[in-house]
Structure 1
Amino acid sequence: MFRWILPAAAVAGALVLSACGGDAESTAPATTEATETSATAETTTEESAAPSESASAGAAELTPQGTALAMGEKAVVPFHASGEKGLVGVTITKIDKGAPADLAPLKLGARADGYTPYYIRITVSNESGTDFAGSSIVTLDGLLADGSDAGGVYSVPSSFTPCGKGSAGDDFVTAGTTYETCSLALAPEGTEVTGVAYDIDTYDDAAPAGAKADYAAEPITWK
C-alpha cells in the first residue's frame, strides 16, 4: 500500500490515497550484552555491572530532541525490530529534485498535478550491534523552505527506481554496518524541499532508560 499526502500548505485537510501492499517495517534497536567467563565471584560482580554501564553510554550517544543538523551529519535514535531494541544512526546525505513525470509508475493521477518530487537520500547505520537484519526505518518527512511539512508518498515500493525504499541486509547485525534508503517528498509548484524532519515516536520504547526521545514533540531536523 502507498499513501499520498498533500502538503499542509496546499490543502486544509490531508488527502490520503490507499492502494494494495504495505510498508514492511521491522524496526528495533537493541543494546548488546557482553559477558566474559569469570573465575571469581568478584570478577562476576564487576562484569554483571557492565550492561548497565553500556546502557548509560548508549543513552549519552542518543541525539537530543530538537537537534538541528547539517546535511551529512548523523542522528542516533532508538529503534526496534522483531522484538529487539537498540540504536540506529540516520544520516541525510542529500536531497535530489526529480521531475513530475517520475511519479507516473505510482499511478497518482491528477492528484499529483502541480507537485514536484524530491528524493531524500538516507544512510542508516547499526549503532548498537543489534540484529536488525531485514528491518527498515519509516519514511521521513521533507520540509519546505518556510519550515512547513512537504507532502509525502509513503510505502513507496523498492522497484520505484528514482527513490525506492531500502531495507537492511542479512549483515545488519553488527555495529557499523549500513544500508541506503530513500524517502519521497512532494513540493507544490513554486516551492522546494530544503530540509528533513525526524519526527517519529514509533520507537520511543526502545530508548535507553532515562533518555528523552519524544521526537514527535521536538523533531531532529536537517537543512
Structure 2
Amino acid sequence: MSSIGMRRTTLATVGLAVVGTMVLTGCKNGNEDPAPAQPTASATGSPSAPASPSAAGSEAPAGAPGMAKSGQTFKIGESAQIPFEYTKDTKGEIALTVIAIEQGNPADLDPLKLGDKVNGKVPYYIRYTIKNIGTTDLSYSSVGHIKGLLGDGTEAQGLSIIGKFEKCPHESLPKGFINGQTQTGCAVALAPSAQTKVAAAEYWGNPYNISTNSKGLVWK
C-alpha cells in the first residue's frame, strides 16, 4: 500500500488472534514523515478461543508439490515452503521461518495506551523471516496471519498495530523483492498472565486455514 503523506500514527487493537493477528503497515517511501506522531490506540475483544489442533502428515495443498502440508509442525528455526497470495494478481512462493518466540515486558505496551485491556498480560514477540523462492516479484506485499499459541494449544490473544512499534517491527516487503530476497517480520501475541507462556506460533494464511477446510502450520 502507498504511504505517501501518511501521518505516522500508531494504532493498536486487542482482539481474538483469529481476527486480531498483528498487521503492521508502513510501506517504505522516501516521502514518508520520519517522525512518528504520539501513539494512539483503541481496544476491543475477548479471551481467545481454542486453536484447531495441528498434526503432521495431513494432505498438502492441491497443486503444490514440495510445499508444506496442512497441519504440519516445525521446530523453531525450520523453514516451510508455502504458496503465497497477497492479491489475486500477486502470487508466488515463499520460505517462511519462525526464528524465535521472545517474551517481552508488560511495560512495552504502555505507548499503545490500551489501558485495562492489557492489564496483567505479557507480550510475546514472534520473529520470523520471509524468503522469496518463487519467480514473482512480491514488492510491497505484506506477510501476516501469524498468531501465538499457549501451552495448552489455545490461541493467544492477538494485537493489531498500524504504524511503528519498535519492540516488534514489521514492514511491507520492499521494492524489488524477487527470488532470493529475504526480510524479517514480527507478530505480537499476548499471554494472559506471567504464569502462562506463548509456546508456539501458527501461520494460518491461505491455503492453511479453516476457510479452505485446512489447518495451519505450527512452529514450536
Report if aligned partners of 1:167, 1:180 keep a CA contact under 8 Å in 2. no
> Are 1:98 and 2:104 counterparts?
yes
Shift in alpha-carbon separation, 1:105–1:4, aligned structure 2, 3 A = same
State the distance in 2 between where 1:141 and 1:25 align: 20
Question: So what's the TM-score if we normalise by structure 2?
Answer: 0.69
| TM-score computed with the length of structure 1 as normaliser | 0.68
Contact 1:7 1:186 in 2 (8 A): no
Q: 2:173 aligns with which of 160, 164, 168?
A: 168
Structure-1 separation of matches of 2:152 and 2:162: 26
Describe the shift of the 1:7–1:172 C-alpha distance in structure 2 as closer, same or farther (beyond 3 A).
closer
Aligned partners of 2:126, 2:151: CA distance in 1, in Å? 15
1:142 aligns to 2:148 (yes or no): yes
- Indicate if the aligned counterparts of 2:145 and 2:204 stay in contact, CA closer than 8 A: no
> Given residue 121 of structure 1, which amino acid in structure 2 is its aligned partner?
R
- SS of residue in 2 equivalent to 1:76: strand
Matched, 1:3 2:20: no
Q: Which amino acid aligns with 1:180?
A: T
Kindly state the Cα deviation for residue 7 of structure 1 after the two structures are TM-superposed: 7.1
Alpha-carbon RMSD across the aligned residues, in angstroms, is 2.5
Instruction: Count residues in correspondence.
Output: 168
Counterpart residue number, 2:55: none
Tell me, yes or no, if structure 1 residue 215 matches structure 2 residue 209: yes
| 1:1-223 alignment runs, 5 A limit | 1-5=11-15, 24=25, 59-81=64-86, 83-157=89-163, 159-173=164-178, 175-189=179-193, 190-201=195-206, 213-216=207-210, 217-223=214-220
Q: Distance in 2 between matches of 1:160 and 1:23?
A: 9
Q: CA shift at 1:149, angstroms? A: 0.5
Q: Deviation per CA, 1:126-161, whole angstroms, max 9, x where unpaired?
A: 11021111111124110111111001102343x211
Contact 1:90/1:125 (8 A) holds in 2 = yes
* AA aligned opposite 1:176: G
Structure 2 alignment gaps of length 5 or more: 1-10, 28-62
Sequence identity (%):
35
Matched to 1:215, the amino acid is: N
- Is the deviation greater in 97-106 or in 76-85? 76-85
Structure 1 unaligned segments of length 5 or more: list them: 9-13, 17-21, 27-57, 202-212
Please give the alpha-carbon distance, in whole angstroms, between the structure 2 residues aligned to 1:111 and 1:24: 22
Q: Which amino acid aligns with 1:3?
A: T
